Structure 1
Amino acid sequence: MTQVTERIPKRPARRSSKPNGQWKVDGTEPLNANEEMKAKDNGLNVRERIETIYAEGGFASIDPEDLHGRFRWWGLYTQRKQGIPGGKTATLEPHELEDEYFMLRVRIDGGALTSEQLRVIGGISTEFARDTADMTDRQNVQLHWIDVRDMPEIWRRLEAVNLNTTEACGDVPRVILGSPVAGIAADELIDPTPTIHEVARRYVGNPEFANLPRKFKSAITGHPSQDVVHEINDIALVAVEHPELGIGFDLWVGGGLSAAPRLGERLGVFVSEEQAPDVWEGVVSIFRDYGFRRLRNRARLKFLLADWGVEKFRQVLQDEYLGYELPDGPAAPVPSEPGDHSGVHEQKDGRFYVGLTPLVGRVSGTILTSLADLLEKHGSERLRTTPHQKIVALDIAAEKVESFVAGARELGLEAEPGLLARSAIACTGIEYCKLAIVDTKDTAASAIREIESRLEDHTGKLPKKLSLHVNGCPNSCARIQTADIGLKGQLITNDAGEQVSGFQVHLGGTLATSEDGQAGLGRTVRGLKVAADELPDYVTTLLDRYSEGSTDGESFAAWANRVEDEDLS
């Protein structure tokens, strides 16, 4: 960022002809039904009603305003009723799409779990969630088929091992992403765990920050691989070494994807470890007080940053919320390694951590419980979830690594995944999500298996990495714009004139990478859509063209952004 040499003058706030619902500009009068719901009763208050009324009376007893609003503050969304095709998604009302069961997110700040906690999640899955469990790309574990009658017991079990679902969804500070190798990696610059814990302690469940314009996503890492997808979070703190001030954080703000993607920007400041919680509070407070609330599709921090620019944002942060100037700071170096932590790596204490891939994040309660047993059998009681739908097992002794890797493979958790499996991500899809149009998990897993079987005989060059992200609707929960190959679900018409499940294709997206040196959103090719059952043919054809047309050392993303549309169709 260019150094700020001039303070932005304070001007009296002026009410626009059509207010945006910015509390510090327009006042706090609610301008839509969602804001009215939050103003009437803080979402955190719904837990008491769940435990004392709805768990007793069942689904039919739930107030619709709580059901479709405040339940999210405790990690609960109604799931999609089974059997409703994708073509009905946009034509049915929400209550017609929903089942009388819930998706539940277990919040895991920093992705840190013990084997005991994992076993509790696994037990909840098998007993209350029909053995369902998915690793999300926000380091949470997501369960399905939850009955509201079971929530008091589920919370009791989670909280007995210091887990919770507080603000796992809703217009609140969502889970804080953290480096999966925090505190154990030999090349770590700083352990972000104390900062993550302090932010969570102060602000998660705090009523002052439980009514934001929309969700607020955070990421903090001390690892040089920049392993928390910092460019697409509302706030991110990335470890950096200042030439005079030592090691601290580089501050990023305003990232987010969905239908209007925008990469975050550096404010150009250096944040010390001691300052980090206060800076986090300042940024989220700006969002609370100045964020756009009138229109839900503009109620994210990225729209405020686009309106203000980084210089004004920095000045408001310093003048109105911190009360002091932050020093200018350098950018963190470009990573020299991938940030998914797949495979076997030595820890700073001489033991090893093992990055495991459950294909497209799909696991089960049975698998999670078995993994807890496997960890303890091999002398470990710690693991981490990752922002890439992966699991990292910690503290494995050198002589036990081979046995652990073999045991994990028997559970479907692969330490040596194939080219596509390693970087594949898929959202929940039509199986459970009311917004989805197509299937994602099974479609992606089947396509990956078929493509990788074909690649066994591939004689040409292949890229060092290839990320495949599959999303069931336009909202980009699976980060399609940042993948080498991103697939956005939609219904398409095939050559026979039939309406079938398919995908719009995004190509050449990338986040922190050692190959290209910068992040960028993928491109779309006009008119390019691929039917779900044609994915293996399309991807293998694409890889053949990459093999023939790429230069030595050229990444797939660089090649895809360089060539003509016809090479990608």
Structure 2
Amino acid sequence: MAGSLRYRLQPIRKTKMYRYDQYDHLIVKERVAQYRDQVRRRLADELTEEEFLPLRLQNGLYMQRHAYMLRIAVPYGMLSSPQVRMFAHIARKYDRGYGHLTTRQNIQFNWINLEQSPDILAELATVEMHAIQTSGNCIRNTTSDELAGVAADEIIDPRPYAEMIREWSTFHPEFAFLPRKFKIAISGAEQDRAATAVHDIGLHVVKNAEGEVGFRVLVGGGMGRTPIIGSVIREFLPWQHALTYLEAILRVYNQHGRRDNKYKARIKILVKALSAEEFARQVEAEWLDIKDGPATLTAEELQRIAQYFTPPPYETLPATDAGFEGQKTDNKGFANWLKRNVKAHKVSGYAAVILSVKKTGVPPGDITAAQLDFVADLADQYSFGEVRVTHEQNLVLADVKISELFTVWQAVKAQGLATPNIGLLTDIICCPGGDFCSLANAKSIPIAQAIAEKFDNLDFQHDIGDIELNISGCINACGHHHVGNIGILGVDKDGSEWYQVSIGGAQGNNTSIGKIIGPSFSAQQMPVVIERLLNVYVQQRTEEELFIDTVQRLGIAPFKEFVYASPIPTGYTHGEDACVY
């Protein structure tokens, strides 16, 4: 195979996630040594910053407003408890006591000293982690469904395929310097929880009429300056050709993608310029030359990788028990948490628990060293030592016994990780924005906090129901604002920070791009803007209709009319412009 993390024959270790072998350890160790020397040369002024820039980016190190930021790869969002403890250690020793979960299921640290960055990478290597390809014009971390392997609606566990993509793409020499960064997502369930439609390549597991497993392939999705929903270029790709087809797509992109203008360099621009039909034709022609080549997958290879994801030793349990049912009936707080933060599991007697990293007053996605250590301990005790990161910036314990949910709830509540708001208004997706990022036009975190504080009423949030509010500090859309039911984008207006609002975006099986409602707003106006949007929804919704349903039924006109109908206070205090509900 093309990549350096090749498929290798070796004894299978009983585990729930991929483990490095001797080759993985060697190449990561060699990369750390190489990077350590590069940092030494930079500090000695043997390398200019311009020369050092691509070298540090290849290892996930960015220069932000105040310090370096290190982004660590979390392959398809899966972590072992020792890895989570390593994050806690890094937060304490090298950062300011916390990390930030990202929309690519990674974690980043925002206060890193250049001199210490090689030591961090060396420590990460001891728990089989690295920061390779978390930046630069290469294939980034492949993302997937945070409920992979346990989801009740799963067709096929996508993690073995995600791991094969990771191995194939890491250090792939042909795709190390693409026209622009490249992102792949894979979903294996009926419900797309991996946002496949807004990735450069989206793979969605399907079965054909004969029951054979394959992928529906989408290409050219993305957000940023030009948000586009991916086009289906193949309805059914046999799983054996997953890598050969990806290689064909990337070859066409590598050959024809623009390198003269980074704003027009993403594959979505190429697909749009050629048309999806022509792009698909070129991919098929390229694929014919390689489809039965060395990257073709075999049943033996799939089985070898799949055994890394062998289900844990589940007990035979009833679907529920009397103690759990009584706790659910007697405790409203527990019942609310079950409704929002606990998801169905394919194994009877178990559930998947989402830990909300969205407590009011805390920047969305930020998690402290103490919380990370706590989560690692909790995973060891209640979820087979495994933790997952969601692209909504939360964490998951995938295998909790139903009989232990009440105990887990009490524990996570004490640590500030039990806010019952998953999928609700205050489960805000938010990039670090202008507080940290040098690319941002405006701050994101204060807007998220102001909105969360304004609507910090769980009864109201539960009545409003599912609604996605996403915030980005710039057009790069790291906060996925384009696919938020309500999207907020920070913009620069004559040197000051303003916010553009869109509504009607959605991810999942019915992905849509939001539409801008009109002129931008000041930071002080944003809580009132959200309140007015919700007023229209509350007044116009039909029974059981969610916010996105009402927007799609009515269009943006009534929302726009009400938001701009009267002046919006610029010095907002609680109680003004009160919600009608």
CA contact (8 A) 2:60 2:135 kept: yes
Larger deviation, residues 213-222 vs 343-352: 343-352
1:428 maps to 2:427: no
Q: Which residue of 2 is the match for residue 127 of structure 1?
A: 93
Q: 1:422 to 1:271 in 2, by over 3 A?
A: farther
Other structure's SS at 1:180 match: coil
The answer to whether the 8 Å contact 1:110/1:178 transfers is: yes
Matches within 5 A, 1:131-146: 131-146=97-112
Residues 342 and 422 in structure 1, CA contact (< 8 A), matched pair in contact too? no
TM-score for both structures, normalised by structure 2: 0.77
On the 8 A contact 1:342/1:415 being kept in 2, the answer is no
Structure 1 residue 320: Cα displacement: 1.4
Q: Does 1:223 align with 2:208?
A: no
Q: Secondary structure at the match of 1:200?
A: helix
Matches within 5 A, 1:352-367: 352-359=351-358, 360-367=364-371
Do the aligned partners of residues 457 and 560 (structure 1) sit closer, same or farther apart at CA in structure 2, a change above 3 Å counting? closer
Aligned match of 2:22: none
Q: Please show how residues 467-546 of structure 1 align to structure 2 within 5 Å.
A: 467-491=468-492, 501-513=497-509, 518-527=510-519, 529-546=520-537
C-alpha distance in 2 between matches for 1:152 and 1:487: 36
CA contact (8 A) 1:430 1:436 kept: yes
Q: Secondary structure at the match of 1:68?
A: helix
1:200 and 1:49 map into 2 onto residues whose CA distance is 21
Q: Structure 1 420/535 Cα, relative in aligned 2: closer, same or farther at 3 Å? A: farther
Q: Is the 8 A contact 2:383 2:397 kept in 1?
A: no
How far off its partner does 1:421 sit? Answer: 4.7
Q: CA deviation at 1:446?
A: 3.2
Measure the CA separation in 2 of the matches of 1:60 and 1:440: 35
Map 1:72-151; keep pairs closer than 5 Å.
72-81=57-66, 101-151=67-117
Q: 1:567 to 1:559 in 2, by over 3 A?
A: farther
| Structure 1 match to 2:562 | 567
Confirm or deny that 1:288 pairs with 2:260.
Answer: no
| d(CA) in 1 for partners of 2:175, 2:33 | 19
Cα distance, 1:539 vs structure 2: 1.4
Give, in whole Å, the separation in 2 of the partners of 1:319 and 1:212. 20
Q: Is 1:70–1:170's contact at 8 Å kept on the other side of the alignment?
A: no
Give the 3 Å change call, closer, same or farther, for CA 219–379 of structure 1 in structure 2.
closer
Q: Describe how 1:393-404 pairs up with structure 2 within 5 A.
A: 393-404=397-408
The equivalent residue for 1:555 is: 546
Deviations 1:424-457 (A, max 9, x none): 100111121001132212430232132233x746
Deviations 1:118-146 (A, max 9, x none): 11111111111111311101100111111
Counterpart residue number, 1:308: 274
How do 1:196-275 and structure 2 match up within 5 A?
196-275=162-241
**1:532–1:205: structure 2 CA closer, same or farther, 3 Å change rule?**
same
1:267 positional shift: 1.0
Question: Alpha carbons of 1:254 and 1:53: their partners in 2 closer, same or farther (altered >3 Å)?
Answer: closer
Give the Cα separation in 1 of the matches to 2:540 and 2:345: 39
Change (3 A) 1:419 1:244: closer
Aligned to 1:167: 133
Matched, 1:446 2:445: no
Deviation at 1:485, TM superposition (A): 1.1
Q: TM-score, normalised by structure 1?
A: 0.79
Instruction: Check whether the contact 1:188–1:223 (CA below 8 A) recurs between aligned residues.
Output: yes
**CA shift for structure 1 position 104:** 0.7
**1:355 counterpart letter in structure 2:** I
Q: Secondary structure at the match of 1:275?
A: helix
Count of residue correspondences: 480
- Asked if the contact 1:176–1:218 (Cα under 8 Å) also holds between the matched residues in 2, the reply is yes
Q: Deviations over 1:34-56 (max 9, x none)?
A: xxxxxxxxxx9996553024247
**Residues 412 and 59 of structure 1: CA distance in aligned 2, closer, same or farther (over 3 Å):** farther
Secondary structure of 2:64's aligned partner = strand
Question: Given the superposition, is the C-alpha separation of residues 107 and 381 from structure 1 closer, same or farther in structure 2, using an over 3 Å criterion?
Answer: same
Give the superposition deviation at 1:324: 7.8
- For structure 1, the residue ranges without an aligned partner over 5 or more in a row are 1-43, 82-100, 327-340, 494-498
Equivalent of 2:51 in 55, 66, 91: 66
Question: Retained in 2: the 8 A contact 1:355–1:415?
Answer: no
Quick one: which amino acid aligns to residue 512 of structure 1?
G
Which has more strand, going by share of residues?
Answer: 1
| Equivalent position amino acid for 2:471 in 1 | V
Q: Helix, strand or coil: the match of 2:448?
A: helix
Counterparts of 2:233 and 2:561, CA distance in 1 = 39
Query: Please, which runs of 5 or more residues in structure 2 have no aligned partner?
Result: 1-28, 293-338, 359-363, 565-581
Q: How far apart, CA to CA, are the structure 1 residues paired with 2:390 and 2:240? A: 25
Structure 1 residues 220 and 422 mapped into 2: Cα distance closer, same or farther (>3 Å)? Answer: farther
The offset of 1:273, in angstroms, is 2.1
Quick check: 1:348 aligned with 2:343?
A: no
Question: Which residue of the other structure, out of 404, 411, 419, is the alignment partner of 1:407?
Answer: 411
Question: What's 1:496 paired with?
Answer: none
How much does 1:59 deviate? 8.4
| One-letter amino acid of the structure 1 residue matched with residue 54 of structure 2 | G
RMSD: 2.6
Q: Secondary structure at the match of 1:438?
A: coil
Say if 1:55 and 1:151, in contact at 8 Å, map to a contact too: no
1:323 and 2:279 aligned: no
- How far has the Cα of 1:386 moved from its partner? 1.2
The answer to whether structure 1 residue 389 and structure 2 residue 355 are counterparts is no
Equivalent residue, structure 1, for 2:578: none
- Give the Cα separation in 2 of the matches to 1:236 and 1:277: 13
